[in-house]
């Protein structure tokens, strides 16, 4: 029996957009935020809560290595159709207790639409390497 706990490392994993690996991913996060209704009735001291819906959002930070963001913008500019993506994160620290018990932790977000500011060009005389941080909202998760 092992003495040390083998917690999952945030460094082990990969990110895919429409099945293409994000080669230089630095950070990836997906958040599920429930839309919670709260109510109280006479004679009750506490609140009753119920989920009425939810929102799924996320962020990808990557070293710029492909023009996928510009391609999505060009697609929108030429067609007027909102580009949608399937974005998947896989956490696969094979040396963790989690992996030993459950295998890879996978989240697939469908109907992803890019939100917020989308970087087209970054120049900085004090800068180092170009990193893009892209936010998205998802219609559903698998």
Residue ranges in the chain modelled with pLDDT below 50: none
- Predicted local distance difference test score (pLDDT) of residue 2: 63
- Predicted local distance difference test score (pLDDT) of residue 73: 97
- Predicted local distance difference test score (pLDDT) of residue 25: 94
pLDDT digits (tens, 9 = 90+) for 102-115: 999 999 999 999 99
Contact between 106 and 89 (Cβ < 8 Å): yes
- Predicted local distance difference test score (pLDDT) of residue 122: 86
């Amino acid at each position: 029996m092992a003495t040390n706990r083998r917690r999952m490392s945030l460094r082990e994993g990969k990110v895919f957009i429409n099945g293409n690996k994000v080669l230089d991913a630095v950070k990836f996060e997906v958040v599920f935020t429930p839309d919670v209704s709260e109510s109280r009735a006479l004679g009750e001291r506490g609140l009753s809560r119920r989920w009425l819906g939810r929102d799924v959002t996320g962020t990808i930070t990557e070293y710029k290595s492909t023009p996928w963001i510009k391609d999505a913008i060009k697609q929108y500019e030429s067609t007027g159709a909102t580009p949608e993506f399937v974005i998947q994160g896989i956490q696969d620290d094979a040396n963790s207790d989690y992996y030993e018990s459950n295998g890879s932790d996978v989240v697939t977000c469908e109907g992803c639409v890019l939100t917020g500011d989308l970087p087209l060009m970054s120049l900085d005389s004090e800068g180092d390497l170009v990193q893009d941080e892209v936010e998205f909202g998802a219609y559903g998760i698998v």
